[in-house]
Amino acid sequence: MAMASTSSALRLRPLLLVLLLAATSEATTFKIINQCSYTVWPAALPGGGVKLDPGQTWALNVPAGTSAGRIWARTGCSFLGEGGSCQTGDCSGLLACTVSGRSPNTLGEFSLGQGQSDDDFFDISLIDGFNVPMDFLPVPVQGRSGCSKGPCCAANITSECPRELKAPGGCSNACTGSTASRCNTSYSAFFKQMCPDAYSKPDDTSTYSCPSGTKYQVIFCPLINQTLSPTAESPLPAPLAEVTPPTPSTLPTAIGPTSMKPKSPSRRRVIAILAPVGGFILLTILFLIAFFICKRQ
């Protein structure tokens, strides 16, 4: 009986060891925030996908050692049950993604190191195109150093997208090849001007790093940074100045070339007195003229 219990314990040891390793392996947390004024459906590999209404967040835990992770925002989605479709960043019509999304989409890429000595590498890529502004920012960890700033793409490229690159819900990128020779320089310069921190062509070097174990936040539609792209968003119209009705002191004294200046009160009184007197004199003269004419006849 004792031998049977001993053999059972021996068989359980590998399973316990696997469970222990899984429990002790660290996962990196990505806080995904939707600051857009519309609903987005973030997708992640690994991780799946969710629906985020404006103001909502998604805490995504990614296993340490993930070598090719991706996060992007899908827009214009319609999911009925398990199936559906998205205007941008679609992944075979599934809410939980198992493959990369169809362009155009703004893509956050990352590679997570293993252990304290390895670094994480991450970037924002526009090679697949653009659909929403994005910030990919590390969360400072006390006692750790060596973390570079995160990439930002706060400009709204969709509103400034060249006509040749316009796509439903976003802006495509001509740099879809694996080499820089396939990339139109005028288009790559446009993306780089709008989002200087982004990885926008195959030979770009806009990659950032942080010590392994750093937490991150991905913000869709961050606050517009006017220093990056002053024309990214049309400025709000200036408020209308308060209009006050004109007073007699502010009214113009002349409206047109034939207008006369207002008469003074004393002048008005003189005219009021002379008018009837003049009329009486005129009538008297007319009466005398008629009288003399009749007398001569």
Domains and CATH numbers, the chain: 26-220 (2.60.110.10)
Task: Collapse the DSSP code of 51 into the 3-class scheme (helix H, G, I; strand E, B; otherwise coil) and give the result.
Answer: coil
Taking the CA atoms of 225, 228, 231 and 233 in sequence, report the sign of the dihedral they define. negative
Please tell me the predicted confidence (pLDDT) of residue 285.
Answer: 85
Reference 135, options 146, 156, 150; nearest CA is 150
- Of residues 288 and 16, more confidently modeled: 288
- Residues in the chain, overall count: 297
Question: What are the two backbone dihedrals, phi and then psi, of residue 140, each rounded to the nearest 5 degrees?
Answer: -60, 135
Q: In the numeric block, which tokens belong to residue 30?
A: 């990505």
H-only helix segments in the chain: 2-24, 157-160, 185-194, 265-296
How far is residue 198 from each of residues 125, 132, 202, measured CA to CA in Å? 6, 13, 12
pLDDT digits 0-9 by tens, 223-248: 864 333 333 333 333 333 333 333 33
122-136, 198-212, 232-246, 278-292 — most confident range? 122-136
pLDDT digits 0-9 by tens, 46-101: 988 999 999 999 999 999 889 889 999 999 999 876 678 899 998 888 888 888 88
Please tell me the predicted confidence (pLDDT) of residue 29.
Answer: 94
11-15, 38-42, 180-184 — most confident range? 38-42
- Of residues 259 and 102, more confidently modeled: 102
Section 174-192 average pLDDT: 72
SS3 content of the chain, % helix, strand, coil (to 5): 25, 25, 50
**Distance in angstroms (rounded) separating the CA atoms of residues 24 and 21:** 5
Q: Which amino acid is at 252?
A: P
13 CB-near residues (< 8 Å, 6+ apart): none
pTM for the complete prediction?
0.65
Residues above pLDDT 90, as percent of the chain = 35
Please tell me the predicted confidence (pLDDT) of residue 32.
Answer: 97
pLDDT digits 0-9 by tens, 126-158: 988 999 999 999 987 665 667 878 999 999 999
Please tell me the predicted confidence (pLDDT) of residue 123.
Answer: 95
Reference 111, options 57, 50, 62, 175; nearest CA is 62
Taking the CA atoms of 25, 45, 228 and 197 in sequence, report the sign of the dihedral they define. positive
- Determine which of 33-42, 65-74, 196-205 has the lowest per-residue pLDDT on average: 196-205
